C-alpha cells in the first residue's frame, strides 16, 4: 500500500470513529454536556483556539459561560473560566482530576511521563512529590540556601552596573540569575560562568532551549487529539520535541555522570541528595532511578527558572509604565532597607506594598495562563452538567484573574487592591483563593511555589531598589509594548530593553572582598 493510500485509510478510520463518538454523545441520556461552540467535523474546536488560546477561550466564555465543553479532535475538553467553577474542579472534585491526559510533550520531552509535572497520579508521582517537598522545597531546605539566592541576585546587580550606559536585555540577565541560583542549589555550582551573563553563548542557547520547551509544550498538537493522525506529525511538533529532548538529555546526563564521580560522598547540594536516595525504598516500595532524577532536573531547569524570570520581567515593565507606583515601592524599600545595602530575603515580610505589586503582577501576567491539563478519572457532575470520564480539564487562569465579576477595573495594574483594608486584602496566591491561582491549586499545585515566590519577590525588590529604569530612544512609558507571546508560559512578545541608573551607595555595586 502506498503512503498516500495509507493516509486516506487513516483519515477514513478517523472519520468513522468521530461519527461513532458523536453518536454516543447524542444517544446518551441524563445530564447535558456544558455549552460550547459547535465543533467542526474530525478536528472539532481546534480552529477556535486561535494563536493565543487563553485569549480565545476567554472570549468564548463570555458567550457560552464560565464552564464550557469543547471537542478537540476526539477528546472531550472542559474549560473553567471563573473562580467558582475552578473551585468545583480543583477543590470539590480535586481527587477525580489528579492525573494528566496523554500528551506528546510529556512523551517526547519529559522522559515519557517520568517527571514530576506530567507523571500519572499514583505511587511514582507520590514518591517524586514527597522527595521534592522534603528535600527541595521545604522551609528548611529553602532557608538553608537563602544565602545562595541572595549572592546570585547580588551578582546580577553588579553585572547590570558593569553595563553602565548600555542597553540591557533584562529578561536574559534574569534568566542567567535564576538558572545559576538554582544550579548552585541543585548542583553545587553555577551553570553559566561567573553569572554576569555578558555575551555568554551557553546562556543564550540554554534560554532558547527553555523557551522552545515552553512554546512546543503550549502547542495544541493534532496528534494528541486525533490519535489516528499522530504518526503523520502534521505540525512537525513531535520531531522538534525529540530533537530538543536529545539536547536536554545530553546536558542533564553530563551533569549527573559528573556528579557521581565528583561528590566524594558529600551531600552539599540537592543532586547529591537525590543520587543517595536511589538506594532508599519509599512508602510503596518505589525507588528513584537515574531517569527520574534527570526528569526532575528537567522540571527544575525549565519550570523553575523561566517562570520566575519572565514574571519579574513583567513586574518591572508594569512599574516602568506606572511611575507613581514605582516611586511608592522605592520609598518603602528605602524606608525598610536604606540605601547602603541590598535587599535580603528576611526584609521581604516588611515590604507590604512590594508584596502587593508581586501579587498584582501574578494576577495580570500569570506565568502559566492555561493550567497544565488534568483528566477526569471518572464521570462526574459539575454545576448540573455531565463531565465525561477521560475529559481533559483546562483552567483559564488568565481569564479568571481578569474577571470583571471578581475584580474592579480588572485590566488596570493596581497593587492597592491587595493592601490591608482593601477589597482583596484577604486573597493569597497560594491556591486557597481561586480568584488568582498562578501556581494552580489542589493536589497538582506547583511543587516549587514557595521557591518561585521567594525568587520573584527578592528579584523584583532588588531591581527596583537598586536602579531606576529608562526606556531606549526616548520611548514614553505608556507606549511600552506589553503584548504576549503564547507558549506554556507567558513570555513577553518583545524583550524588555532598558537603561539602568544606579540609585544606591556606590559601594553596594562593588564585589565584596
Start-end of H helices in 263-393: 270-276, 290-303, 306-321, 323-336, 352-364
User: Is residue 383 a contact partner of residue 31, using CB atoms and an 8 Å limit?
Assistant: no
Q: Residue 158, exposed/middle/buried by CB under 10 A (0-12, 13-18, 19+)? A: middle
CB contact set of 473 (below 8 Å; sequence gap of 6+)? none
**What angle is formed at CA 62 by the lines to CA 21 and CA 85, rounded to 5 degrees?**
70
Question: What is the widest separation between alpha-carbon atoms in the chain?
Answer: 77
User: CA quadruple 452, 346, 507, 505: dihedral positive or negative?
Assistant: positive
User: Is residue 214 a contact partner of residue 491, using CB atoms and an 8 Å limit?
Assistant: yes
Q: Check residue 39 and report its DSSP letter.
A: P
Nearest to 489 by CA among 77, 178, 102, 153: 178
Q: Residue 208, exposed/middle/buried by CB under 10 A (0-12, 13-18, 19+)? A: exposed
Nearest to 136 by CA among 195, 187, 73, 201: 187
- Bridge partners, residue 468, by sequence: 501
- CA 226 – CA 42 distance, rounded (Å): 8
Helix-, strand-, coil-residue percentages of the chain, each rounded to 5: 55, 10, 35
Three-state secondary structure call for residue 178: helix
Name the residue with cell 542597553: 167
Please tell me whether 177 is known to bind a ligand.
no
Pairing of strands 385-387, 484-485: unpaired
User: Is residue 219 a contact partner of residue 488, using CB atoms and an 8 Å limit?
Assistant: no
Pairing of strands 497-502, 491-492: unpaired
- CA 385 – CA 350 distance, rounded (Å): 46
Query: Which residues are documented as binding site for heme?
Result: 446
Query: Which residues are documented as binding site?
Result: 446
Amino acid at each position: 500500500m502506498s503512503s498516500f493510500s495509507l493516509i486516506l485509510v487513516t483519515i477514513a478510520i478517523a472519520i468513522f470513529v468521530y461519527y461513532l463518538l458523536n453518536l454516543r454523545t447524542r444517544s446518551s441520556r441524563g445530564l447535558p454536556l456544558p455549552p460550547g461552540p459547535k465543533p467542526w467535523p474530525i478536528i472539532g474546536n481546534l480552529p477556535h483556539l486561535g494563536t493565543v488560546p487563553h485569549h480565545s477561550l476567554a472570549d468564548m466564555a463570555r458567550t457560552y459561560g464560565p464552564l464550557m465543553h469543547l471537542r478537540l479532535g476526539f477528546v472531550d475538553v472542559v474549560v473553567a473560566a471563573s473562580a467558582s467553577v475552578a473551585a468545583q474542579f480543583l477543590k470539590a472534585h480535586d481527587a477525580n482530576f489528579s492525573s494528566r491526559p496523554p500528551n506528546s510533550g510529556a512523551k517526547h520531552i519529559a522522559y515519557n511521563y517520568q517527571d514530576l509535572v506530567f507523571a500519572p497520579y499514583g505511587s511514582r508521582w507520590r514518591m517524586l512529590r514527597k522527595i521534592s517537598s522534603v528535600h527541595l522545597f521545604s522551609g528548611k531546605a529553602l532557608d538553608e540556601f537563602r544565602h545562595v539566592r541572595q549572592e546570585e541576585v547580588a551578582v546580577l546587580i553588579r553585572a547590570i552596573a558593569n553595563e553602565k550606559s548600555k542597553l540591557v536585555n533584562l529578561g536574559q540577565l534574569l534568566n542567567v540569575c535564576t538558572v545559576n541560583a538554582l544550579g548552585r542549589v541543585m548542583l553545587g555550582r553555577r551553570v553559566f560562568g561567573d553569572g554576569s551573563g555578558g555575551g555568554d553563548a551557553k546562556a543564550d542557547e540554554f534560554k532558547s532551549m527553555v523557551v522552545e520547551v515552553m512554546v512546543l509544550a503550549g502547542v495544541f498538537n493534532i496528534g494528541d487529539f486525533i490519535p489516528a493522525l499522530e504518526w503523520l506529525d502534521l505540525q512537525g511538533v513531535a520531531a522538534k520535541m525529540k530533537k530538543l529532548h536529545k539536547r536536554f538529555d545530553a546536558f542533564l546526563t553530563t551533569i549527573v555522570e559528573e556528579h557521581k564521580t565528583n561528590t566524594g560522598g558529600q551531600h552539599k547540594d540537592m543532586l547529591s541528595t537525590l543520587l543517595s536516595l536511589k538506594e532508599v525504598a519509599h512508602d510503596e516500595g518505589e525507588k528513584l532511578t537515574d531517569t527520574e532524577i534527570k526528569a526532575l532536573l528537567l522540571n527544575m531547569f525549565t519550570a523553575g527558572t523561566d517562570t520566575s524570570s519572565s514574571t519579574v520581567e513583567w513586574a518591572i515593565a508594569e512599574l516602568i509604565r506606572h511611575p507613581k507606583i514605582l516611586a511608592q515601592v522605592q520609598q518603602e524599600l528605602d524606608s525598610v532597607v536604606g540605601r547602603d545595602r541590598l535587599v535580603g530575603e528576611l526584609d521581604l515580610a516588611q515590604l507590604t506594598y512590594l508584596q502587593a505589586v508581586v501579587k498584582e503582577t501574578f494576577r495580570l501576567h500569570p506565568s502559566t495562563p492555561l493550567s497544565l491539563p488534568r483528566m477526569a478519572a471518572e464521570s462526574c457532575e459539575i454545576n448540573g452538567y455531565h463531565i465525561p470520564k477521560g475529559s481533559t480539564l483546562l483552567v483559564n487562569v488568565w481569564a479568571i484573574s481578569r474577571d470583571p465579576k471578581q475584580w474592579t477595573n480588572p485590566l488596570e495594574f493596581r497593587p492597592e487592591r491587595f493592601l490591608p483594608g482593601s477589597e482583596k486584602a484577604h486573597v493569597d496566591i497560594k491556591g486557597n483563593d481561586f480568584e488568582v491561582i498562578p501556581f494552580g491549586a489542589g493536589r497538582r499545585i506547583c511543587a516549587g511555589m514557595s521557591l518561585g515566590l521567594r525568587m520573584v519577590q527578592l528579584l523584583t525588590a532588588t531591581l527596583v531598589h537598586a536602579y531606576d529604569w529608562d526606556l531606549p530612544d526616548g520611548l514614553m512609558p505608556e507606549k511600552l509594548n506589553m503584548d504576549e507571546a503564547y507558549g506554556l508560559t507567558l513570555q513577553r512578545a518583545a524583550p524588555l530593553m532598558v537603561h539602568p541608573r544606579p540609585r544606591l551607595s556606590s559601594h553596594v555595586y562593588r564585589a565584596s572582598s
